[in-house]
Every structure is written in C-alpha cells, then in structure tokens.
Amino acid sequence: MKWQGREGSSNVGRGSSGGGPVKIGGVGLLLLVIVYSLFGGNPRDIINEQNRTQQEQQVNNSEKASSKEVAEAEKMLSVVLKDTEDVWHEKFSEINKNYEEPKLHFFEGAVSTGCGNADKNVGPFYCSLDQTIYMDVTFYNMLTQKLGADGGDYAMAYVLAHEVGHHVQKELGILDRVHNIQRRLNEKDANKYSVALEIQADYFAGVFSYYIKEKGYLEEGDIEEAISAVQSVGDDHIQKMGQGYVQPEKFTHGSSELRNEWFQRGFKYHDFEHADSFGEMGLRIQ
C-alpha cells in the first residue's frame, strides 16, 4: 500500500494502563483460543481474562516487535484511518447522513476502555461505548505466525478497515439494534447475529478497499494480502488450529469462505444496497 508521505488522522491516541480483566454488562464469550476474539466488534466478545494461565501471559520472543517496527506500523495505520474517514464521509453523504469519525487508540500490554479493561490477547477490537478502536500492533505477528496469514501492510490495513466497519454499523444504528436483540436470545441464536455483524464489517472493509484502489493507493498483491488475512480469521480455520475440528454451531465470526465472500462482495459493489448480511441470513433487525 502506498502510504508513505501521506497525511495521517488526527483521531489517533496512544497509552496503556495496568488494567485487569474486562468487565462488560451482558454475556462475555469465553473462546477456545486467545485469538478467537480477533476482530470482534461486539463488546460482548471481549473475554474475561481472570482464568488465563501463566503460560498464556508470556509473550514468545518471536512475537515481539522493535519500537521502530511498532512506530512504523502505527504511522501506517494512522494514514489508513485517514483514508477510512475520507471514504466514509463520501459514502454517508450519498445517503444524506453525517459520519462521526471513530478514534484509534494504540496500546502496549493492557488498556482501559469504555467497555472495561483489556489486554493484548483480546486482539484488535471496537468499543461502541466510547466509539474507539483499540490496537496493540504486535497482533500482526500473531496474525502471520499463529494464524498463517501471508502478511504485508495491507493485511494490517484490512484489520483496521474491518474495525472501522463496526463503527459504520454503529453510525447506521445497526450495532445497537443487534446488541439489543442479542440480549433476548440464547447463545446459539445470538451467535448468528454476531456472524452477520462480522461479515457485514468485512463487506465494509471491501468497500473501503475498492475506493483505495480507485485513488491509486493499492499496490500489486495488496488485495491478496487482505484476502489471506480474512481467511486466516475464519471460525473454521481458528477452530481447526485450536481444537482440531470444526463446530459450525459455535461460529461467532463466520467461516473463512463466508468472510472472504463478503469482503469481495463489498469490493465488487461498494455500496450500502448489497450490505444486508442479516437479510441474507434470514435475520431481522427491525
């Protein structure tokens, strides 16, 4: 991705805290592996870390990143955030709506959020209560080394675009409606709505990618990097790696195939009209 020398967003902050376990009203989803919550935009997906083992607390040396690498990644993601602001201001103006920009907060280790305290094992996430995306950029090593993504700067750009997609859902009123519906459902049915939220956020990441391509910012292989990242965080892929078998009834984010399908759908249509993942899954949010 061509990002060097371009303007970054003014909505970026940085800082950590010594936060403890995430405490959020509603049901927290205890996932089978640490990375299971990767890219989850729903605060109920942020896991309670109280029972985390000492082994999980340790960071493998191969996952550490130098301060220079971290600074470079954060600078790049600031530019990507500015690009998302430009794209979504344009798209919202087409439907006569205002777009309120989200914040992006980088942290190391642990952070206090409007949704409670979280640590790096939660992965990148969007907190709708403070409309902020939280990222420890060392997650990139987990994405490539543990989940098998090909890597590249646009893999990271996809992750941010996906989280911004959850903010787009918040701005459209979708996120709050879905969360209210989920509170009345059992886990199995609530998970279906979670999947619809996630693949719709993938759709919006595809929309963003289309406009970045049109602006001439994409380089050869960037879309392939994004697709590799999308597929690496499918529920089926993560379950196979974590437990050796797949349980579709436990999906909360969608299969690799489904997530890739919706990312590419957004890239193809780049509009709001084809974004109704809930209708496609036979779910009602009205």
**At residue 45, does pLDDT exceed 80?**
no
Contact 198, 41 (CB under 8 A): yes
More reliable by pLDDT, 83 or 35: 83
Residue-wise pLDDT tens digits, 51-85: 343 334 433 443 455 678 778 888 999 999 999 99
Contact 251, 195 (CB under 8 A): yes
Contact 97, 89 (CB under 8 A): no
> How long a stretch of residues is the chain?
286
**Secondary structure percentages of the chain, helix, strand, coil, to 5:** 55, 10, 40
Task: Give, in order, the Cα–Cα distances in Å from 200 to each of 59, 195, 222.
Answer: 32, 8, 21
Domain assignment present for 256: yes
Phi first, then psi, for residue 118 (nearest 5°) are: -140, 155
Domain assignment present for 182: yes
- In whole angstroms, give the CA distance from residue 114 to residue 231: 30
Domain assignment present for 59: yes
Structural domain including 120 reads: 12-280
Domain assignment present for 77: yes
Residue 278 tokens read as 């809930």
Residue-wise pLDDT tens digits, 147-169: 444 556 888 898 899 999 999 99
- pLDDT class for 282, splitting at 50, 70, 90? very high
Residues whose CB falls within 8 Å of the CB of residue 21, separated by 6 or more in sequence, listed in order: 48, 49, 50, 116, 117
The amino acid at residue 230 is V
What's the rounded mean pLDDT across residues 29-55? 37
Q: Please give the pLDDT value at position 163.
A: 94
State the pTM of this model: 0.79
**At residue 143, does pLDDT exceed 90?**
no
The structural domain count of the chain equals 1
Domain assignment present for 4: no
Select the highest-mean-pLDDT range: 108-117, 139-148, 163-172, 252-261.
163-172
More reliable by pLDDT, 162 or 253: 162
What's the rounded mean pLDDT across residues 237-243? 56
- In whole angstroms, give the CA distance from residue 272 to residue 268: 12
Q: Which letter does DSSP use for residue 91 in this model?
A: H
Q: Please give the pLDDT value at position 67.
A: 79
What's the rounded mean pLDDT across residues 19-43? 35
Please state the separation of Cα 190 from the chain's center in Å: 19
Share of residues in the chain with pLDDT > 90 (%):
49
Residues whose CB falls within 8 Å of the CB of residue 115, separated by 6 or more in sequence, listed in order: 22, 24, 43, 46, 127, 128, 129, 130
Domain assignment present for 102: yes
Per-chain mean pLDDT for the chain:
78
What angle (nearest 5°) sits at the alpha carbon of residue 232, between those of residues 39 and 174? Answer: 35
Please state the separation of Cα 32 from the chain's center in Å: 18
Q: Please give the pLDDT value at position 56.
A: 42
Domain assignment present for 1: no
Domain assignment present for 286: no
- pLDDT class for 123, splitting at 50, 70, 90? confident
Residue-wise pLDDT tens digits, 82-105: 999 999 999 999 999 999 999 999
Share of residues in the chain with pLDDT > 70 (%):
70
What's the rounded mean pLDDT across residues 224-245? 64
